[in-house]
Amino acid sequence: MSVIEVRDVDRSFVVRHRSGRLRRTSTIVRAVRDLSFSVEAGEMVGYIGPNGAGKSTTIKMLTGILVPTAGSLRVAGHTPYAERAALAQRIGVVFGQRTTLWWDLPLRDSYDLLRRIYRIPADRYRENLATFTDLLDLGPLLETPVRQLSLGQRMRGDIAAALLHDPDVVYLDEPTIGLDVVSKSNLRDFLRETNRERGVTVLLTTHDLVDIERLCSRVMVIDAGRLVFDGSLEGLHGLGEARRTLVVDLMEPAPPLDVPTAQTLRVDGPRQWLAFPAEASAAPLLAAIAATHEVADLAILEPNIEDVIKRIYSTGPAPSD
């Protein structure tokens, strides 16, 4: 069953700017266009795209704080903007760059306010708080004012806050931004477990592709307001011409190698980088090089998701027309 349904959604903004002493012109910017996707209950979906691609606009529409210009959205059976209060009971939101906690209050007080806001039954609240305190290691932090928490601690606090009322869907907007490697890894473990144990549907936006690789079986890529990819992570790798890179160290510096099946990307003294199709074997390539040059050392770099995405972004449609 689809818990999120987005059909032909468009969202444009009118941007006014001065074009003379008194004259103002306005241009229409389409932040999101012809967006359609659906997310099944219990899925964990990565939603990625460069800055300004329309990720936040999408999340805002899914929480009901922004109305689409055209098209329809359904989340957990509600139309977000029309039934915002009802929807709020079913969703949780984490903004990596903002906090939903109260700055001057101890963490526990923020949770108590949320209990009242969402009218969480007392036993359910106690149970959830105990679980999250345990899993996110919040015990020593509960009595600390939020302003004194480190970024990593605050983020853990925020994630627990978003889950206290047992939402069906959670939107995580860059939850790992600014965190160190260990904090990131712990947070990912927690998210994976929450998704599995509680069946919470997760929509995750991030710039950290490791988040996606570790957590999401499905990834959507948005660029310039359009969905340019929706599929599995492997599918994303295979998208376009995925290439591997052969790095060779020659005995002597040489002009760029000229091998028919590969493209020489870079030359740095005796070291050269050659790109070749991911599905091709490196052996004939190496043989071709060894026939004309003496090879001291070599390495093969597997295609990485970052390169794939970089290629998708740079070939995406123009921002406006």
Q: Give the footprint of other proteins on this chain (CB under 8 A).
A: 11, 13-14, 31, 57, 60, 63-67, 81, 84-86, 88-89, 93, 95, 98, 100, 102, 104-105, 109, 112-113, 116-119, 145
Q: Which is nearer to other proteins, 47 or 95 (CB)?
A: 95
CA angle centred on 309, ends 303 and 311, rounded to 5°: 85
Least distance in angstroms from the C-beta of 100 to other proteins: 5
Least Å from the CB of residue 193 to other proteins: 26
**CA–CA separation, 87 and 77 (whole Å):** 9
Closer residue to other proteins, CB minimum distance, 66 or 138: 66
Residues in the chain: 321
State the Cα–Cα distance between residues 72 and 255, nearest whole angstrom.
Answer: 58
What are the E-state strand segments in the chain? 2-18, 24-40, 44-48, 70-75, 91-95, 169-173, 201-205, 218-223, 226-232, 243-250, 263-268, 271-277, 295-301
**Burial degree of 236 (CB within 10 A; 0-12, 13-18, 19+):** buried
Q: In angstroms, what is the minimal distance from the CB of 295 to other proteins?
A: 56
Query: What is the nearest approach in angstroms of other proteins to the Cβ of residue 154?
Result: 14
SS3 state of residue 14: strand
Smallest separation, CB 124 to other proteins (Å): 15
Q: Which is nearer to other proteins, 93 or 242 (CB)?
A: 93
Contact (CB, 8 A) for 188 and 150: no
Closest C-alpha among 242, 257, 240, 237 to residue 298: 257
The smaller minimum CB distance to other proteins, of residues 17 and 119, is found at 119
Q: Which of 73, 104, 70, 269 is nearest to 171 (CA)?
A: 73
Minimum Å gap between C-beta 109 and other proteins is 6
Q: Please give the Cα distance from 45 to 130 (Å, whole number).
A: 27
Q: Which is nearer to other proteins, 112 or 249 (CB)?
A: 112
Taking the least distance from each CB to other proteins, the nearer of 15 and 296 is 15
